[in-house]
Structure 1
């Protein structure tokens, strides 16, 4: 039996319903030369029964291991994979039918050593999920080029949707961080090793992210922590743009003090703050064509910026 071209590694922690939706989406791929490895990372609510329902339609492995975090769990999957290319998705992704068709085409044209793809909002996502998805990708927040537009220069794949060749895995040994920006750190090492890494725009996934604003804040707080951790290992990778959420947090705190210092300066600062939030609302309305999503994008952006900024500052100055 010939090994598959692609090995899909999916770390899972207490998310059987998400795994069911992801595996269902994989049964509809137009290119089927892949295997799936579900790596249960010490879950108390396992998804083995879900996996068993797909054994007749997918080439699938199920492994259970003690909890170590997503980085080591993906490495565990890499070690058990048979494919020439190792692909990782987050468990809260849904994969469109032409994903591997798009990857095949781009690999033939570009000979990538590794790649990443965009995320999009699915029609079944909640309005809150759509708002969070917008702010995570928007140029007005911390999104920038998360795969949504033509990328110029170096692209850093993210672990919700990334693939590497076996050559890359053998040279790098995969992820080094347990969690928090482990994908960014991995991408930086791929760059330093001279591998050809690119964005495949057509290889997008539907990424649910979190289901409510409280979970979203915790997620972006950890993103901020992770970026600061990357900076401790790769100092040259911290740019002024990575400080923007922290500047936003500090500026907002200072704005609250201005009424007691200078009411004119407060009026100017508050006007600028409102103008920025209005720009987010209008841009989201243009992008999503939905008034409720646009309204929800404002608190989503505030949570994203404050969470990321606070996490970055905590890890940068108070983290051990």
Structure 2
């Protein structure tokens, strides 16, 4: 089984260096690497060239079109039986490809996804952000689960693989951002291919390094959910409204603290209980008081940023029907 690892890249030369270093340590070596530089001003050609003796690596530079179409560019040039997609801010465990290969031989999948986790080298903020993106108290713990309240399992593009047969029949990404990976996996499902989670094929996902960057990313994710709805209305589930409802609750709580002491007491108590649950859960998982405190901030940012983005485009694109 031969893998083609495809990595879109935009102005992140240091990230690709760290990712490629982890790929040189893979225990299964039947793979190539395609780095697609998507119109970056800070290109990584010299960094990629430094790995040519250690990896079967190919570097391509194209005009900027976004990560979805950069991956398509890689698909067109890949030689593998499976195309493995990573985000440039991931670190890959040394047994990743061997784990995937063994799993696919025992349980055939046409496309797969894997979970993400925080690496011990991550900063406290990165660990808190990782918690916020995977906790049952924020995302419902749906990332990295075979089934969830949102319906079918949809691989995410930070850790995703598709077979060559999928590419030949379904093609690649139709949209380049705003939920492109979910839209793609829905079409793979509808074409009759088998998609599943490989629970042991995890990556260490650094995500954003500051809360400001995290806010921008999650606001974008909230908007992306509405974009997916425009393609597939049936995929919008009750669970997707939770961040928006939490955001409205937070606004209501702030208003009550100004105008209504009775309702303020109830809302403040509920909010305090929720914050304590996050703190205790993160403390148990991360074994760090600092990370547990930062997890409270990260979780509130995760919910409100997503919520505002969701509400913004729900109002604009569904209520006002703005194309």
Q: TM-score range by the shorter chain?
A: over 0.9
Corresponding position: 1:249 with 2:254: no
How far 1:281 moved relative to its partner?
A: 0.7
Corresponding position: 1:25 with 2:35: no
Conserved? CA contact 2:146–2:153, under 8 Å: no
Partner of residue 88 from structure 1, selected from 78, 85, 95: 85
Conserved? CA contact 2:146–2:196, under 8 Å: no
How far 1:274 moved relative to its partner?
A: 1.1
- Aligned-residue CA RMSD in angstroms? 1.3
Corresponding position: 1:169 with 2:167: yes
Alignment partner, residue 114 of structure 2: 117
User: Normalising to structure 1: TM-score of the pair?
Assistant: 0.96
Alignment partner, residue 287 of structure 1: 285
Q: CA–CA distance in 1 between the matches of 2:216 and 2:224?
A: 12
Conserved? CA contact 1:136–1:143, under 8 Å: no
Q: CA–CA distance in 2 between the matches of 1:157 and 1:219?
A: 18
- 2:315 is paired with a residue whose SS is helix
User: Normalising to structure 2: TM-score of the pair?
Assistant: 0.95
Flag as ranges the 4+ runs of structure 1 deviating above 4 A.
Answer: 149-153
How far 1:262 moved relative to its partner?
A: 3.3
Q: CA–CA distance in 2 between the matches of 1:312 and 1:194?
A: 30
> How many positions carry a matched residue from both structures?
316
Alignment partner, residue 157 of structure 1: 155
- 2:298 is paired with a residue whose SS is helix
Conserved? CA contact 2:113–2:154, under 8 Å: yes
Partner of residue 189 from structure 1, selected from 180, 187, 190: 187
Alignment partner, residue 320 of structure 2: none
Q: CA–CA distance in 1 between the matches of 2:133 and 2:156?
A: 13
Unaligned runs of 5+ in 1: none
Alignment partner, residue 316 of structure 2: 318
Conserved? CA contact 1:7–1:34, under 8 Å: yes
Q: CA–CA distance in 2 between the matches of 1:310 and 1:143?
A: 18
Q: CA–CA distance in 2 between the matches of 1:284 and 1:177?
A: 35
How far 1:202 moved relative to its partner?
A: 1.1
- 1:58 is paired with a residue whose SS is coil
How far 1:154 moved relative to its partner?
A: 3.0
Q: CA–CA distance in 2 between the matches of 1:180 and 1:280?
A: 28
Alignment partner, residue 129 of structure 1: 126
Unaligned runs of 5+ in 2: 318-322
How far 1:314 moved relative to its partner?
A: 1.2
